[in-house]
Structure 1
């Protein structure tokens, strides 16, 4: 994905069922794959580990200790 200079990563605080924006941005990165996740598409994260995941499969593997 090609990003313009206006695109920057957000910093989020992940809570159970929600997240809070600590530093504004357009996206975050998957903690496992490094894939860019636009904030509007962010659905999977771990409040315990404070990381985002691109897919439910990646999240499940990571949380089971396989990722």
Structure 2
């Protein structure tokens, strides 16, 4: 099995429900919200539907709210 961090550059991943598949080896991916480099061994948040990674839960929530502004209003009812 290939080490997920064989290359020092940016990886390309396919995001799955509970894991991800390495399409192009690399050491990190970039957060879709902040642009921050996320080492693959620290990657915990992503969207399967949008196929994008997030640096943390706050970035994931920010993306959800950005794409569905009504979500904030619905969650406070």
TM range (shorter): 0.7 to 0.9
Q: Whose strand fraction is larger, Structure 1's or Structure 2's? A: 1
Larger Rg: 2
Say yes or no: does 1:18 pair with 2:14. no
Q: Which has the higher contact order (CA 8 A, sep 6+)?
A: 1
1:65 and 1:49 mapped to 2: Cα distance? 13
What SS does the aligned partner of 1:7 have?
coil
**TM-score, structure 2 normalization:** 0.73
Alignment of 1:1-67 (within 5 A): 7-65=8-66
How many residue pairs match? The answer is 61
Structure 1: unaligned runs, 5 residues or longer: 1-5
C-alpha RMSD over aligned residues: 1.3
Misfit runs of 4+, over 3 Å: none
Greater share of residues in helix: 2
